[in-house]
Amino acid sequence: MSDLPSFPEGFPLPERGLEEVAAAEPQDLAAALAFALLRVSPEPEKGLRRPGLFVAAKAWLRERGRPFAQGWQMPTPSGCGLIVVAVADERQVIWALEEALKSGAVGGAVAALSAPDFVATRRLAFAAKAGGAAAAILRTTGAEGLSAAWRRWRIGSLASAPQAFDVRAPGPARLRAELTRRRDGLPGVWELEWDDDRRIWRDAKSGPAAAQQARGLRLAAGLARDGLDPFDPASEGSRQVG
């Protein structure tokens, strides 16, 4: 199996520049953050390993939780070190993000902002271009207003894929990524699924979990035909013995 992420067809690959990731609803923020991390992790170039940066206001961190590094084993920006900057207000968030992008010292940066104005986003877009970095503005609420971001996303949580060994447990995380606005093509909607083995996001419709789900359904159908309960270990065991 190749190590390249198997993104769905037409899904724009992460690249340098400024994008905007908004949570469809405030509760979808965790999914939006995970997606923003994916967007600011362009494929690592040879010998170029720069750390990632996360900037948020202190009030944001208190209200919505602080980054938990062990949970960021999903693509951290550039996969190499993480710097978290906690600042007093949104003006400083923009300043810190712009400084970091301009310096060229970070590979990817995510900043939690509620409503940056057009001028600010334009400055950030230029800074990202100058520093060769990928940046994402993480917004709690929908993406209204003008923005200089190259792409704008709306992220919603989806029920997780089935867990292979325990039907009652949540499986690999899934999310729905809606590209509401882009400058280089048509908008679209994709569903992504977290692959825990390869530590990448992949197409939810063609991943092994989907295949397994289909297989599980087939199995369940077959068992139902045989008059057995698919979720009862005893009956499954008896079937195997029989």
Partner 1 sequence: MTVWTRSTRHQKAPVRSAEASDQKPIPFALVERNGRGLCLRAVNGAAQKLGLWRGQSQADARAMAPDLVTVPADPAAEALALQRLALWAERFSPCVALMADGPGVEGLALDMTGGTHLFGGETAFIAAFEARLAKAGILARVAMADSLGAAWALARFGGLTQIAPVGGAREALADLPVEALRLDPEAVTLLKRFGLQRIGDLYPLPRAGLARRFRGPRAGAMGLKVVERLDQALGFRAEPVVPVRPPPAYRSFQVFAEPITETAGVALYLPDLAKALAEQLQRDGQGARRLTLTGYRVDGATTSIEAGLSAASAQPSHLLRLLKEKGLEALDLGFGIDALMLSAPVAEASVAQQEGLDGERSATEVAALASLIDRLQAKLGEDAVQTPRPRGSWLPERSEGWDAASNLGFGAFDPVLRPRPILLFHPPERVEAIAELPDSAPARFTWRRVARRVVRAEGPERIAPEWWRLSPASPRPPRTRDYYRIEDETGRRYWLFREGLYGREDQDRTPEWWLHGVFA
Phi, psi torsion values for 16, nearest 5 degrees? -70, 150
Q: How far is the CB of 222 from partner 1 (least distance, A)?
A: 24
18, containing H or E segment? strand 17-23
If you ran DSSP here, which 8-state letter would residue 177 be given? Answer: E
Residue 120 near partner 1 by CB under 8 A: no
Site for partner 1 in 136-175 (CB under 8 A): 156-160, 163, 166, 168-170, 173-175
Of residues 82 and 220, the one with the C-beta less far from partner 1: 82
- Count interface residues toward partner 1 (CB under 8 A): 56
Residue 81 near partner 1 by CB under 8 A: yes
**Closest by Cα among 8, 4, 3 to 193:** 8
**Closest by Cα among 131, 173, 135, 129 to 155:** 173
Span of 8-16, 72-80, 118-126, 220-228 interacting with partner 1 by CB under 8 A? 72-80
Residue 3 near partner 1 by CB under 8 A: no
Q: Which residues, at least 6 apart from 102, have a Cβ–Cβ distance to it below 8 Å?
A: 127, 130, 131
Span of 29-37, 133-141, 180-188, 228-236 interacting with partner 1 by CB under 8 A? 29-37
Among 15, 103, 119, 226, binds partner 1 (CB under 8 A): 103
Q: What angle do CA 120, 129, 56 make, to 5 degrees?
A: 45
Q: How far is the CB of 19 from partner 1 (least distance, A)?
A: 17
Of residues 147 and 174, the one with the C-beta less far from partner 1: 174
Token output for 135: 């940046």
CA-to-CA distance for 67 and 124, rounded, in angstroms?
23
Of residues 17 and 51, the one with the C-beta less far from partner 1: 51
CA-to-CA distance for 56 and 66, rounded, in angstroms?
9
CA-to-CA distance for 85 and 46, rounded, in angstroms?
27
Q: How far is the CB of 176 from partner 1 (least distance, A)?
A: 9
CA-to-CA distance for 144 and 139, rounded, in angstroms?
10
Among 28, 98, 195, 203, binds partner 1 (CB under 8 A): 28
Residue 186 near partner 1 by CB under 8 A: no
Which residues contribute to the site for partner 1 (CB under 8 A)? 27-31, 33-35, 46-48, 50-51, 64-74, 80-88, 92, 95-96, 99-100, 103-106, 156-160, 163, 166, 168-170, 173-175, 194
